Structure 1
Amino acid sequence: MDIATLKTVVLVARHGSFAAAARALDVDPSSVSRMVAGVEAELGVRLFQRSTRRLSVTELGARYIAEITPLLEEMDRALDTARSAAHAPSGTLKMTASVAFAQECIVPRLGQFMARYPAIAIELIPTDDMLDLTAKGIDLAIRLTPAPRGDLISTRLMDTRYVVCASPAYIAGASPLTEPGDLRHHRCLRFALPDYRTRWRFRRAGKAPFAVDITGDLVIANALALRRAARDGLGPSLLADWLVGPDIAAGRLVDVFPQYDCSAAQFDTAAWALYPSRSYLPQKVRVMIDFLRQS
């Protein structure tokens, strides 16, 4: 049996169905089913338990797939190493990031990346949903979070911090905003996540962290729209520095409490690059991570 067939078996196990694996491979489901059946016939064991409702991996199938997966990754690594010795990084890089981070931090740099690596094609999926990388066939995800948990492998791209910001016009016309506690008297612009919409946290050197309960009539599920509302003078908002840094520098927004660290949950957050494999990092993924880290 060839490597492509074994990769198909692993893909079926990861996706949990012939149809889903076929969609990932852009082939007919019947061809995937035949390939798996051929492997089972050659091995003389059943790898998957089939029923009208679901497909599940048998005990022997799970052991077999666990054994061949690192071998397949090593084969990919060897192939990538051989190619990289003579060729520039190549292939299609499928990656995802939040809508705001993709627009502000990735898309403006893609021209430079693609000029440097013309043999790499980019498929970028901007979404605020936490996509399953393995199920969706995604090579790389950028997530904004404290240290990630779970099975994915992560590397820190850049530290992030949050600021409470408002437009100069809002500050000029509203009640004073000299201390975080003053936010209780303002209609804050709130991000539609539990940690962001009810309480903001603050920390100052030499002082204990504390939280301020916030309220407001406008809750928005998109950071770009929230920034626009803040620019338009609708109230103070808690936003990431990479999103509002240029606005603060240009005077469109003001960092209301520059002497404080601000957060919705944890103060130490970062942008992380996440990828599925523990033992193999394709060259196309590696150069993108290095590029984003250096930019």
Structure 2
Amino acid sequence: MDLRTLTLFCDVAELGSFAEAARKQRRDPSQVSRIIAGLEQQLALRLFTRSTRRLSLTEAGERYLLRVRPILDELSAAEEEARQLTQVPSGRLRLTASTAFGQVWLLPRLGEFYRRYPDINLDIVLSDENLDLIAADIDLAIRLAPSLQSHLVGRQLLQTRYRVVASPHYLAHNARLHKPEDITQHNCVVLNLANYRSRWLFKQLGQTPLEIKIQSRMLVSNALALRECLLQGIGPGLVAEWVIAEELANGELQDIFPDWQISATDFNTGAWLLYPSRQYLPQKTRVMIEYLLNQQ
């Protein structure tokens, strides 16, 4: 029995699939199946229950995983600590973010990191799916959410502030917007998400939030499409400040209610740096986290 076999066992157990574990380790699925069968024979235990639809741990397999996983984590941590004493950060770093956040905020900030750490190979995955970090072999994820997900560890990258904005052309040729209630007289451009389509929340310091119903003739699927519609003067829209910071600065878009806190869901949402809950952080991941936290 060697460490590679134990690592493969843990991958199969955590991913629930020979095929997924084979993909992660770049092996043939039949080879993975043979190695696990050999491990079961060596232990004289059945570790997995196999069926045509699913693969699950037996009771013995669950107990074995609880013992083996911490040992592998400790060995990986010891290896990483020793390596950090003599080596510069290196290896492939797989980082995921939403399409909009990646294109608008993340990618423009990665040039300096790329030059500073020439031994790190970046694999950037921009997706609007919340990828499973373990199944997708992700080292670091940036997620937009009100709070930290309980099964992951990480740090807040930035706090998200939402603004209701419109183009100068739209504001000049439509009914004026003096107070939040006036938004009901306009057709807004809206993200096609359940909590964004029907009402927005407005709050001022020390006051009870206002819930304002909205109407719309234009639904869009992501923040980049929303920004483009706003620039085209189609209507006002609720959008994260990081999406439109440049357009607000150059006057292409105008903040309609600058004195209000505005949200569709939660006033305390943010962008989070998340990584699988392990007992150590590879140096390549650590330096990326530190770098991004300094990019405010």
Q: Distance in 2 between matches of 1:277 and 1:207?
A: 39
In structure 2, the gaps of 5 or more residues are: none
Q: Does 1:4 align with 2:4?
A: yes
Kept in 1, the 8 Å contact 2:145–2:269? The answer is yes
Instruction: Please state if 1:99 is matched with 2:86.
Output: no
**Farther-moved stretch of structure 1 (166-175 vs 77-86):** 77-86
Q: How does 1:144-223 map to 2 (within 5 A)?
A: 144-223=144-223
Aligned to 1:123: 123
- The aligned amino acid for 1:233 is G
Paired residues of 2:73 and 2:278 also in contact (CA < 8 A): no
Q: Secondary structure at the match of 2:176?
A: coil
In the other structure, the counterpart of 2:26 is 26
Equivalent residue number for residue 267 of structure 1: 267
**TM-score (ref. length: structure 2):** 0.97
Deviation digits for residues 114-140 of structure 1 (CA, Å, limit 9, x no counterpart): 111111111111111111111111111
Alpha-carbon offset, residue 287 of structure 1: 1.2
Opposite residue 37 of structure 1, the aligned amino acid is: A
Moved more, 96-105 or 40-49: 40-49
Cα distance per residue 1:231-288 (max 9 Å; x no partner):
1111111111111111101101001100000100100111101111242222111111
Moved over 6 A (4+): none
The alignment partner of 2:123 has SS state of: strand
Residue 155 of structure 1 and its aligned partner are, at CA, apart by 1.2
- Quote the Cα distance in structure 2 between the aligned partners of 1:15 and 1:251: 49
Whole-Å separation in 2 of the counterparts to 1:99 and 1:3: 37
The aligned runs of 1:33-182 (5 Å cut-off) are 33-182=33-182
CA RMSD for the aligned pairs?
A: 1.1
Q: Which amino acid aligns with 1:131?
A: L
Cα shift readout 1:182-208 (whole Å, capped 9, x = no counterpart): 100000000011111111101112321
Q: Is the 8 A contact 2:165 2:256 kept in 1?
A: yes
Distance 1:287 1:201 in 2: 38
Note the alpha carbon deviations across 1:160-186, whole angstroms, 9 max, x for none: 110001111111111011111110000
Question: What's the CA shift for 1:221?
Answer: 0.5
Q: What SS does structure 1 have at the residue aligned with 2:124? A: strand
Distance 1:38 1:14 in 2: 19
Go from structure 1 to structure 2 and tell me whether the alpha carbon gap of 1:277 and 1:212 turns closer, same or farther (over 3 Å shift): same
Q: Alignment partner of 1:248: what SS? A: helix
User: What one-letter code is carried by the residue in structure 2 that aligns with 1:140?
Assistant: L
SS of the residue aligned with 2:134? helix
Offset of residue 38 of structure 1: 2.0
Residues 283-294 of structure 1: matches in 2 within 5 Å?
Answer: 283-294=283-294
Secondary structure at the aligned position of 1:89 is classed as coil
Q: What is the rounded CA distance, in whole Å, between the counterparts of 1:58 and 1:142 in structure 2?
A: 35
Aligned to 1:224: 224
| 1:248 counterpart letter in structure 2 | L
Q: How far off its partner does 1:51 sit? A: 2.4
Counterpart CA distance in 2 for 1:7 and 1:32 is 11
2:248 alignment partner in structure 1: 248
Q: In the alignment, residue 65 of structure 2 is paired with which amino acid?
A: I
**CA shift at 1:60, angstroms?**
0.9
Distance in 2 of aligned mates of 1:224 and 1:52: 42
When normalised by structure 1's length, the TM-score is: 0.97
* Counterparts of 1:53 and 1:230, CA distance in 2: 47
Question: 1:80 is paired with a residue of what secondary structure?
Answer: helix
